[in-house]
């Protein structure tokens, strides 16, 4: 428990990691890719979200996959670069900031995505083995429930608990904060899940 509050990072380095991570995370790849493909403003269709799920609503699976990959990797790159330059704690803060940058990009009036891809990307940067745990949970819940949103919500809920039991309290703490924020961003999905109106995987229309 003492390790949880024993951060060695200095304030200037912490601020540098946060700013770097935020700026990298705020790159709206979904918007950039759809505009480059001549599909207009992704914010004008579906949920108005800039993430891969909404990009998929354009019918372009390749663009959606590219958005998912790039949204994840921007958090991974932020975490790895900061870790390499300033240490593990800086990497963790940069990954968190990239997640926040994706959710609240300054360039788009702080209206971004829901953060599942950047959540995974942060994990890949600071605790790569946990990506397999996330994937296993997501696949298991999705197969049973047929709800992509529910699978992601459950996976984000379990990850901090597993990290805590693996004696990674700092990573567990940061991922727990990201989980709370992610659940908040999924408020509409949660309401639809409770009401039974959430779209299932493979459902049309």
The string of pLDDT tens digits covering residues 102-144 is 999 998 888 888 899 999 999 999 999 999 999 999 999 999 9
Domain annotation covers residue 22: yes
For 69, list phi and psi in degrees, rounded to 5.
Answer: -65, -50
Q: What is the pLDDT of residues 155-188, one digit of tens each?
A: 999 999 999 999 999 999 999 999 999 999 999 9
- How much of the chain, in percent, has pLDDT values that exceed 90? 64
pLDDT at 46 exceeding the cut of 70: no
**Residue with the larger pLDDT of the pair 108 and 53:** 108
- How much of the chain, in percent, has pLDDT values that exceed 70? 95
CA–CA separation, 105 vs 69, rounded Å? 18
- Give the domain extent around 189: 2-195
Domain annotation covers residue 202: no
Residue 203 is predicted with a pLDDT of 60
Domain annotation covers residue 204: no
Domain annotation covers residue 205: no
Provide the mean pLDDT of the chain.
90
Domain annotation covers residue 80: yes
pLDDT at 61 exceeding the cut of 70: yes
CA–CA separation, 122 vs 159, rounded Å? 12
Q: For the chain, how many structural domains are there in total?
A: 1
Domain annotation covers residue 203: no
Domain annotation covers residue 200: no
Residue 205 is predicted with a pLDDT of 47
For 94, list phi and psi in degrees, rounded to 5.
Answer: -65, -40
Write down the H helix ranges in the chain: 11-25, 29-36, 52-56, 61-86, 88-103, 116-126, 129-145, 148-165, 169-185, 187-195
pTM: 0.90
Residue 165 is predicted with a pLDDT of 94
Domain annotation covers residue 7: yes
For 38, list phi and psi in degrees, rounded to 5.
Answer: 80, 25
Residue 202 is predicted with a pLDDT of 64
């Amino acid at each position: 428990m003492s390790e949880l509050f024993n951060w060695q990072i200095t304030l200037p380095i912490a601020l540098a990691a946060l700013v770097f991570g935020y700026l990298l995370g705020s790159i709206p790849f979904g918007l950039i890719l759809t505009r480059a493909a001549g599909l207009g403003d992704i914010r004008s269709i579906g949920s108005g979200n800039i993430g891969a799920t909404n990009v998929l609503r354009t019918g372009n699976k390749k663009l959606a996959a590219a958005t998912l990959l790039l949204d994840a990797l921007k958090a991974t790159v932020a975490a790895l670069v900061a870790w390499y330059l300033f240490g593990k704690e800086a990497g963790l803060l940069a990954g968190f900031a990239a997640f926040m940058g994706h959710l609240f990009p300054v360039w788009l009036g702080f209206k971004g995505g829901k953060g599942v891809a950047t959540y995974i990307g942060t994990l890949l940067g600071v605790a790569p083995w946990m990506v397999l745990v996330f994937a296993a949970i997501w696949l298991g819940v999705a197969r049973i429930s047929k709800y992509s949103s529910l699978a992601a919500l459950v996976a984000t809920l379990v990850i901090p608990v597993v990290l805590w039991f693996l004696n990674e309290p700092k990573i567990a703490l940061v991922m727990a904060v990201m989980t709370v924020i992610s659940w908040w961003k999924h408020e509409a999905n949660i309401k639809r899940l409770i009401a039974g109106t959430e779209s299932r995987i493979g459902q049309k229309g």
